[in-house]
Chains A and B, each alone.
Chain A
């Protein structure tokens, strides 16, 4: 059984088979889509977390809602203009890959999918923000879970 939610598993499997040049091309395609990951006007969320952390070159906002019937997460991410392209790509991948997953399964997602998607040529010290978006989404999911537990007790 995969450690990743089904949608993310599909994306990882797709990228894992690609040669480096094709990975790059598809990452650019995802990066181009990252603007669509931002909240839509009028959209409301259970949790909103917008901040500038030291690990990232610009402000990033994570917006999360959990469907009370399916327990599926809907996450949106807003990115400042100076965020690296790889980070934009990962944002689009995660927004798609984690859609509908439970908060618990999001907390369990290991980071090891990143090299499978990004490939060996692009992983370097100055592109570590590629891990940052997952960390932020997990952090927001954790807050949601903590609030749920607090409300239940």
Chain B
């Protein structure tokens, strides 16, 4: 195991390139690529990796929600994933969408999940192999999950409003400019604006990028503890909600808080600012202070 991982609360959930390269042909794992660049997988992916499109495969394409349990079972079945399969996620953008896909798998109760530290960029930087060959796995019969675990790891508008009013830990992982309300879109994505800028009152600003090194790998346990636990005064029993714009950056932070720092109650508010900032009469705070 990578020595960096040993200090994390759940070190087995993170894998590095050495481990994954040694397990490329391991029949008990399934490597899943999930990206923002919708065609990136086709240009080259890890040998044996399948593509799960966060938008096309994991989201309901009519209503703003995730797929149904039956839809999730179909995604898994056609990719040869069973409940016993350990799914290893990786992708572009510092693993934003890989974290999002991993969180979505957890939403349906699939707990055998891992994330490749550094994602595809680190794999490439290390000179590891890519292929365009698309694997063919035998279809499985993934049982339709009895429910979606929304209550466990997903927060909705009402949950976040209660959190805000009772000043429970709320983490805004967007850029500082978005938090302050100076811009209503993510840097480099001007087409994704909302009607109002600012943050949820009471939310603390910890941009997701603070958790990552320049090469996309996660910072050490001690560094993460300083950023989140000490800086925010978080307690082990805290009920924490993280949000961004549509839940992908906050999935990254959810992963850090849940698996690397070991907080038991962390929820991702996937409606995030695209819901809050467009909602009539949702309270908003602006500026540097939580409000």
Contact A55 B39 (CB under 8 A): no
Closest-CB distance, B1 to chain A (whole angstroms): 31
A124 to B55 CA separation, bound complex (whole angstroms)? 9
B84 in contact (CB, < 8 A): no
A125 to B59 CA separation, bound complex (whole angstroms)? 14
Contact A126 B39 (CB under 8 A): no
For residues 53 through 87 of chain A, which have their beta carbon under 8 Å from a beta carbon of chain B?
Answer: 54-57, 84-86
Closest-CB distance, A59 to chain B (whole angstroms): 12
Q: Which of B136-144, B150-158, B183-191, B218-226 contacts A (4 or more CB under 8 A)?
A: B183-191
Please name the residue on chain A nearest to B43 by beta carbon: A85
Contact B39 A24 (CB under 8 A): yes
Contact B37 A85 (CB under 8 A): yes
A121 in contact (CB, < 8 A): yes
Contact A122 B191 (CB under 8 A): no
A111 in contact (CB, < 8 A): no
- The one of B42, B55, B187 that contacts A85, using a Cβ cutoff of 8 Å: B42
Closest-CB distance, B52 to chain A (whole angstroms): 14
B27 in contact (CB, < 8 A): no
A89 in contact (CB, < 8 A): yes
Contact B191 A24 (CB under 8 A): no
* Most-contacted residue by chain A among B37, B191, B192 (CB, 10 A): B37
Closest-CB distance, B44 to chain A (whole angstroms): 10
A28 to B39 CA separation, bound complex (whole angstroms)? 7
CB-CB contacts of A120-135 with B at 8 A, as 1s and 0s?
0110111110000000
Q: B191 contacts which chain A residues (CB < 8 A)?
A: 55, 125, 128
A31 to B42 CA separation, bound complex (whole angstroms)? 11
Contact B187 A121 (CB under 8 A): no
A27 in contact (CB, < 8 A): yes
For residues 82 through 136 of chain A, which have their beta carbon under 8 Å from a beta carbon of chain B?
Answer: 84-86, 89, 121-122, 124-128
Contact B188 A28 (CB under 8 A): no
Contact B42 A55 (CB under 8 A): no
Count A-B contacts at CB 8 Å: 46
Contact A24 B42 (CB under 8 A): yes
For residues 26 through 60 of chain B, which have their beta carbon under 8 Å from a beta carbon of chain A?
Answer: 36-40, 42-43, 55-56
Q: B190 contacts which chain A residues (CB < 8 A)?
A: 54-55
- Give the number of chain B interface residues (Cβ < 8 Å): 15
Contact B42 A28 (CB under 8 A): yes
Q: A89 contacts which chain B residues (CB < 8 A)?
A: 39
* Most-contacted residue by chain B among A28, A126, A127 (CB, 10 A): A126
A75 to B187 CA separation, bound complex (whole angstroms)? 29
Please name the residue on chain A nearest to B121 by beta carbon: A82
- The one of A54, A57, A85, A128 that contacts B39, using a Cβ cutoff of 8 Å: A85
A51 to B136 CA separation, bound complex (whole angstroms)? 42
Please name the residue on chain B nearest to A132 by beta carbon: B191
Given the contacts A55-B191, A57-B188, A128-B191, A28 and B38 also touching, CB distance less than 8 Å: no
Given the contacts A125-B192, A128-B191, A31 and B43 also touching, CB distance less than 8 Å: yes
Contact B192 A86 (CB under 8 A): no
- The one of A54, A122, A124, A127 that contacts B188, using a Cβ cutoff of 8 Å: A54
A47 to B82 CA separation, bound complex (whole angstroms)? 57
- The one of A24, A27, A54, A56 that contacts B187, using a Cβ cutoff of 8 Å: A54
- The one of A25, A55, A122 that contacts B38, using a Cβ cutoff of 8 Å: A122
Q: B188 contacts which chain A residues (CB < 8 A)?
A: 54-57
Closest-CB distance, A27 to chain B (whole angstroms): 6
Write 20 A-B pairs (CB below 8 A) sorted by A numbering: A24-B42, A25-B42, A28-B39, A28-B43, A31-B43, A54-B187, A54-B188, A55-B188, A84-B37, A85-B37, A85-B38, A85-B39, A85-B40, A85-B43, A86-B38, A89-B39, A122-B38, A122-B39, A125-B192, A128-B191
B residues at A contact (CB < 8 Å): 36-40, 42-43, 55-56, 187-192
A residues at B contact (CB < 8 Å): 24-25, 27-28, 31-32, 54-57, 84-86, 89, 121-122, 124-128
Nearest first, the 8 closest Cβ-Cβ pairs linking A and B are A85-B39, A84-B37, A128-B191, A28-B42, A54-B190, A122-B38, A126-B36, A85-B37
